[in-house]
Amino acid sequence: MSLIPKSHPRAKSLLIREKLVSGFDRGLVAKEGLLAQGRGEAFDYLQGEKTGKSAKSAIKAAAAQIILADLPVISVNGNIAALCPKEIVKLAKKTGSKIEVNLFYTNEKRKRAIINTLKKYGAKEILGTDFRSKTILSGIDSARRFVDKNGIFSADVVVVPLEDGDRTMALRKAGKKVITFDLNPLSRTSQTAHITIVDNVTRAMDLLIENCEKLSRKNTNYLQKIVCDFDNKKNLSQNIEEIKNNLTKRAKNA
Protein backbone atom coordinates (compact mmCIF):
# COMPACT_ATOMS: atom_id res chain seq x y z
CA MET A 1 0.00 0.00 0.00
CA SER A 2 1.35 3.39 -1.00
CA LEU A 3 1.62 6.11 1.62
CA ILE A 4 1.65 8.86 -1.02
CA PRO A 5 -1.58 10.92 -0.95
CA LYS A 6 -3.25 11.13 -4.38
CA SER A 7 -3.58 14.89 -3.94
CA HIS A 8 0.19 15.37 -3.72
CA PRO A 9 1.23 17.59 -6.68
CA ARG A 10 3.99 15.15 -7.65
CA ALA A 11 2.15 11.95 -6.70
CA LYS A 12 2.83 10.24 -10.03
CA SER A 13 6.59 10.77 -9.84
CA LEU A 14 6.71 9.66 -6.22
CA LEU A 15 4.83 6.51 -7.13
CA ILE A 16 7.44 5.71 -9.77
CA ARG A 17 10.14 6.15 -7.13
CA GLU A 18 8.20 3.91 -4.78
CA LYS A 19 8.00 1.19 -7.45
CA LEU A 20 11.75 1.29 -7.90
CA VAL A 21 12.49 1.18 -4.18
CA SER A 22 10.10 -1.75 -3.83
CA GLY A 23 11.94 -3.41 -6.75
CA PHE A 24 15.18 -2.89 -4.85
CA ASP A 25 13.71 -4.45 -1.70
CA ARG A 26 12.51 -7.44 -3.76
CA GLY A 27 15.99 -7.99 -5.18
CA LEU A 28 15.27 -6.84 -8.75
CA VAL A 29 17.16 -3.54 -8.78
CA ALA A 30 20.90 -3.01 -8.22
CA LYS A 31 22.13 -0.18 -5.97
CA GLU A 32 23.40 1.52 -9.10
CA GLY A 33 19.85 1.30 -10.48
CA LEU A 34 18.70 3.62 -7.69
CA LEU A 35 21.22 6.19 -8.86
CA ALA A 36 20.05 5.86 -12.45
CA GLN A 37 16.51 6.51 -11.17
CA GLY A 38 17.72 9.67 -9.43
CA ARG A 39 19.27 10.93 -12.64
CA GLY A 40 16.07 10.06 -14.45
CA GLU A 41 13.99 12.03 -11.94
CA ALA A 42 16.10 15.13 -12.47
CA PHE A 43 15.62 14.92 -16.22
CA ASP A 44 11.93 14.13 -15.85
CA TYR A 45 11.59 17.38 -13.91
CA LEU A 46 13.10 19.20 -16.88
CA GLN A 47 10.68 17.38 -19.18
CA GLY A 48 7.78 18.77 -17.13
CA GLU A 49 6.98 15.18 -16.02
CA LYS A 50 4.89 14.69 -19.14
CA THR A 51 5.17 13.13 -22.60
CA GLY A 52 6.21 15.83 -25.02
CA LYS A 53 5.64 16.15 -28.78
CA SER A 54 9.11 14.84 -29.59
CA ALA A 55 8.52 11.73 -27.48
CA LYS A 56 5.23 11.11 -29.25
CA SER A 57 6.88 11.14 -32.70
CA ALA A 58 9.67 8.86 -31.47
CA ILE A 59 7.08 6.45 -30.06
CA LYS A 60 5.30 6.33 -33.42
CA ALA A 61 8.57 5.68 -35.29
CA ALA A 62 9.54 3.02 -32.75
CA ALA A 63 6.19 1.25 -33.17
CA ALA A 64 6.60 1.22 -36.96
CA GLN A 65 10.18 -0.08 -36.64
CA ILE A 66 9.13 -2.88 -34.27
CA ILE A 67 6.27 -4.00 -36.54
CA LEU A 68 8.61 -4.03 -39.55
CA ALA A 69 11.22 -6.12 -37.72
CA ASP A 70 11.86 -9.79 -38.51
CA LEU A 71 13.21 -10.52 -35.04
CA PRO A 72 12.55 -7.78 -32.48
CA VAL A 73 13.99 -8.34 -28.99
CA ILE A 74 13.25 -6.38 -25.81
CA SER A 75 16.20 -6.22 -23.45
CA VAL A 76 15.20 -6.13 -19.77
CA ASN A 77 17.24 -4.93 -16.80
CA GLY A 78 16.39 -4.59 -13.11
CA ASN A 79 14.93 -1.08 -13.31
CA ILE A 80 12.62 -2.05 -16.16
CA ALA A 81 11.50 -5.19 -14.35
CA ALA A 82 10.64 -3.03 -11.33
CA LEU A 83 8.94 -0.22 -13.26
CA CYS A 84 6.91 -1.88 -16.01
CA PRO A 85 7.04 -5.69 -16.11
CA LYS A 86 3.39 -6.00 -17.15
CA GLU A 87 3.83 -3.59 -20.06
CA ILE A 88 6.99 -5.37 -21.28
CA VAL A 89 5.16 -8.69 -21.45
CA LYS A 90 2.21 -7.03 -23.20
CA LEU A 91 4.44 -5.32 -25.76
CA ALA A 92 6.25 -8.60 -26.46
CA LYS A 93 2.97 -10.47 -26.95
CA LYS A 94 1.39 -7.84 -29.20
CA THR A 95 4.43 -7.52 -31.45
CA GLY A 96 5.88 -11.05 -31.38
CA SER A 97 9.04 -9.71 -29.74
CA LYS A 98 11.33 -11.88 -27.65
CA ILE A 99 12.31 -10.88 -24.12
CA GLU A 100 15.93 -11.17 -23.00
CA VAL A 101 17.29 -10.37 -19.55
CA ASN A 102 20.60 -8.58 -19.78
CA LEU A 103 22.23 -7.07 -16.71
CA PHE A 104 25.12 -4.65 -16.30
CA TYR A 105 25.79 -5.74 -12.72
CA THR A 106 25.19 -9.41 -13.23
CA ASN A 107 24.06 -11.55 -10.37
CA GLU A 108 22.24 -14.88 -10.70
CA LYS A 109 19.91 -14.23 -7.77
CA ARG A 110 18.81 -10.90 -9.20
CA LYS A 111 18.37 -12.43 -12.64
CA ARG A 112 16.09 -15.11 -11.12
CA ALA A 113 14.02 -12.45 -9.35
CA ILE A 114 13.61 -10.55 -12.63
CA ILE A 115 12.59 -13.70 -14.51
CA ASN A 116 10.07 -14.64 -11.83
CA THR A 117 8.52 -11.18 -11.99
CA LEU A 118 8.18 -11.33 -15.78
CA LYS A 119 6.68 -14.83 -15.52
CA LYS A 120 4.18 -13.60 -12.96
CA TYR A 121 2.91 -11.23 -15.65
CA GLY A 122 2.60 -14.01 -18.20
CA ALA A 123 5.96 -14.15 -20.00
CA LYS A 124 6.46 -17.65 -21.40
CA GLU A 125 9.93 -17.63 -22.92
CA ILE A 126 12.66 -15.47 -21.39
CA LEU A 127 16.09 -15.51 -22.98
CA GLY A 128 19.42 -14.70 -21.38
CA THR A 129 19.51 -17.59 -18.94
CA ASP A 130 20.59 -20.62 -20.96
CA PHE A 131 24.38 -21.01 -20.97
CA ARG A 132 24.14 -23.31 -24.04
CA SER A 133 22.98 -20.43 -26.24
CA LYS A 134 25.20 -17.80 -24.61
CA THR A 135 27.49 -15.90 -26.98
CA ILE A 136 29.47 -12.65 -26.96
CA LEU A 137 28.55 -9.29 -28.43
CA SER A 138 31.90 -7.65 -29.13
CA GLY A 139 32.82 -4.14 -28.03
CA ILE A 140 31.55 -4.33 -24.41
CA ASP A 141 33.56 -4.94 -21.23
CA SER A 142 30.77 -5.57 -18.73
CA ALA A 143 28.74 -8.74 -18.24
CA ARG A 144 26.30 -7.26 -20.70
CA ARG A 145 28.47 -8.56 -23.52
CA PHE A 146 26.92 -12.00 -22.97
CA VAL A 147 23.84 -12.30 -25.11
CA ASP A 148 21.62 -15.10 -26.34
CA LYS A 149 22.37 -16.51 -29.80
CA ASN A 150 18.63 -16.74 -30.51
CA GLY A 151 17.83 -13.35 -29.02
CA ILE A 152 19.80 -10.11 -29.08
CA PHE A 153 22.62 -11.69 -31.08
CA SER A 154 20.28 -12.52 -34.00
CA ALA A 155 17.86 -9.61 -33.61
CA ASP A 156 17.43 -6.96 -36.28
CA VAL A 157 15.66 -4.54 -33.91
CA VAL A 158 16.53 -4.25 -30.22
CA VAL A 159 14.47 -2.30 -27.70
CA VAL A 160 16.80 -1.27 -24.89
CA PRO A 161 15.13 0.88 -22.24
CA LEU A 162 17.47 2.70 -19.80
CA GLU A 163 20.58 1.59 -21.61
CA ASP A 164 24.20 2.62 -21.24
CA GLY A 165 26.14 4.30 -24.01
CA ASP A 166 28.76 1.59 -24.62
CA ARG A 167 26.22 -1.10 -25.17
CA THR A 168 24.08 1.05 -27.43
CA MET A 169 27.17 1.68 -29.56
CA ALA A 170 28.07 -2.04 -29.61
CA LEU A 171 24.55 -2.98 -30.68
CA ARG A 172 24.61 -0.38 -33.39
CA LYS A 173 28.00 -1.58 -34.63
CA ALA A 174 26.60 -5.11 -34.73
CA GLY A 175 24.06 -3.83 -37.28
CA LYS A 176 21.00 -3.71 -35.04
CA LYS A 177 18.38 -0.98 -35.19
CA VAL A 178 18.39 0.35 -31.64
CA ILE A 179 15.33 1.82 -29.93
CA THR A 180 15.83 3.27 -26.46
CA PHE A 181 13.94 5.11 -23.73
CA ASP A 182 16.04 7.72 -21.96
CA LEU A 183 14.94 10.88 -20.17
CA ASN A 184 18.28 12.55 -20.85
CA PRO A 185 18.42 13.71 -24.49
CA LEU A 186 22.16 14.33 -24.14
CA SER A 187 23.26 10.89 -22.88
CA ARG A 188 25.49 8.82 -25.13
CA THR A 189 22.67 6.30 -25.37
CA SER A 190 20.22 8.93 -26.60
CA GLN A 191 22.71 10.28 -29.07
CA THR A 192 23.72 6.85 -30.39
CA ALA A 193 20.39 5.03 -30.75
CA HIS A 194 18.42 5.08 -34.01
CA ILE A 195 15.21 6.00 -32.21
CA THR A 196 15.32 7.64 -28.77
CA ILE A 197 12.10 8.02 -26.83
CA VAL A 198 12.89 10.86 -24.43
CA ASP A 199 10.23 10.15 -21.87
CA ASN A 200 9.73 8.27 -18.65
CA VAL A 201 9.49 4.63 -19.58
CA THR A 202 6.48 4.29 -17.25
CA ARG A 203 4.51 6.81 -19.35
CA ALA A 204 5.88 5.88 -22.77
CA MET A 205 5.54 2.10 -22.67
CA ASP A 206 1.72 2.16 -22.73
CA LEU A 207 1.78 4.67 -25.58
CA LEU A 208 4.18 2.43 -27.50
CA ILE A 209 1.83 -0.53 -27.07
CA GLU A 210 -1.13 1.59 -28.26
CA ASN A 211 0.84 2.78 -31.30
CA CYS A 212 1.86 -0.80 -32.14
CA GLU A 213 -1.80 -1.86 -32.00
CA LYS A 214 -2.88 1.00 -34.27
CA LEU A 215 -0.04 0.66 -36.77
CA SER A 216 -0.22 -3.12 -37.04
CA ARG A 217 -3.16 -2.57 -39.41
CA LYS A 218 -1.04 -0.49 -41.83
CA ASN A 219 0.91 -1.78 -44.80
CA THR A 220 4.70 -2.04 -45.10
CA ASN A 221 5.13 1.06 -47.29
CA TYR A 222 3.21 3.19 -44.83
CA LEU A 223 5.35 1.95 -41.93
CA GLN A 224 8.61 2.34 -43.85
CA LYS A 225 7.75 5.95 -44.59
CA ILE A 226 7.25 6.68 -40.88
CA VAL A 227 10.68 5.19 -40.10
CA CYS A 228 12.42 6.96 -43.01
CA ASP A 229 10.89 10.33 -42.15
CA PHE A 230 12.06 10.09 -38.54
CA ASP A 231 15.33 11.92 -37.84
CA ASN A 232 16.63 11.11 -34.34
CA LYS A 233 19.08 14.04 -34.11
CA LYS A 234 16.36 16.48 -35.14
CA ASN A 235 13.94 14.93 -32.68
CA LEU A 236 16.48 15.20 -29.83
CA SER A 237 17.02 18.90 -30.67
CA GLN A 238 13.26 19.35 -30.56
CA ASN A 239 13.23 17.75 -27.11
CA ILE A 240 15.89 20.19 -25.90
CA GLU A 241 13.67 23.04 -27.17
CA GLU A 242 10.79 21.54 -25.19
CA ILE A 243 12.98 21.53 -22.04
CA LYS A 244 13.83 25.21 -22.61
CA ASN A 245 10.15 26.06 -22.99
CA ASN A 246 9.25 24.13 -19.83
CA LEU A 247 11.94 25.98 -17.89
CA THR A 248 10.87 29.37 -19.22
CA LYS A 249 7.28 28.66 -18.21
CA ARG A 250 8.36 27.58 -14.72
CA ALA A 251 10.59 30.63 -14.27
CA LYS A 252 7.68 32.90 -15.22
CA ASN A 253 5.43 31.21 -12.68
CA ALA A 254 8.04 31.26 -9.92
DSSP for 121-146 reads TT---EES--GGGEEE-TT--SGGGE
Q: Is 160 in the site for ligand ATP (CB under 6 A)?
A: no
What is the Cβ-side half-sphere exposure of residue 59, based on CA atoms within 13 angstroms?
Answer: 24
Q: Are strands 195-197 and 126-127 parallel, antiparallel or unpaired?
A: unpaired
**Strand 195-197 to 177-181 pairing:** parallel
The reply to whether 43 sits near ligand ATP by the rule CB under 6 A is: yes
Q: Is 178 helix (H, G, I), strand (E, B) or coil?
A: strand
- Between CA 86 and CA 96, with CA 90 as vertex, the angle to 5 degrees is 145
- Under a CB-based contact definition with an 8 Å cutoff, are residues 85 and 115 in contact? no
> How large is the angle between the packed helices 201-215 and 53-68, nearest 10 degrees?
50
**Cβ closest to ligand ATP, residue 44 vs residue 100:** 44
> Quick one: which H or E segment has residue 211?
helix 201-215
| 200 contact choice in ligand ATP, Mg ion, none (CB below 5 to 8 Å, kind-dependent) | ligand ATP
Minimum distance from residue 12 beta carbon to Mg ion (Å): 26
Which of 29, 36, 137, 193 touches ligand ATP (CB under 6 A)? 36
Least distance (Å) between residue 199 CB and ligand ATP: 7
Alpha carbon distance 40, 127 (integer Å):
27
Residue from the set 51, 54, 95, 189 that interacts with ligand ATP by CB under 6 A: 189
| Rounded distance between C-alpha atoms, residue 137 and residue 124, angstroms | 25
Number of residues that bind Mg ion (CB under 5 A): 1
DSSP 8-state class, residue 177: E
Single out the segment in contact with ligand ATP by CB under 6 A; choices: 21-29, 61-69, 187-195, 212-220: 187-195
* Of residues 26 and 218, the one with the C-beta less far from ligand ATP: 26
Rounded Cα gap, residues 62 and 197, in angstroms: 8
Contact window for ligand ATP (CB under 6 A) among 2-10, 38-46, 53-61, 205-213: 38-46
When the beta carbons of 40 and 223 are compared against ligand ATP, the nearer one is 40
Residue 212 near which of ligand ATP, Mg ion, none (CB within 5-8 Å, type-dependent): none
Residue placing its CB nearer to ligand ATP in the complex, 56 or 188 = 188
Query: Under a CB-based contact definition with an 8 Å cutoff, are residues 108 and 131 in contact?
Result: no
Residue 27 interacting partner from Mg ion, ligand ATP, none (CB closer than 5 to 8 Å by kind): none
- Number of Cβ within a 10 Å radius of residue 175: 8
The residue of the chain with the least Cβ separation from ligand ATP equals 40
202 vs 232, which CB is nearer to ligand ATP? Answer: 202
Question: Which residues between 163 and 182 bind Mg ion (CB under 5 A)?
Answer: 164
Footprint on this chain of ligand ATP (rule: CB under 6 A)? 36-37, 39-40, 43, 83, 162, 164-165, 181-184, 187-189, 200-202
Residues that bind Mg ion in the complex, under the rule CB under 5 A: 164
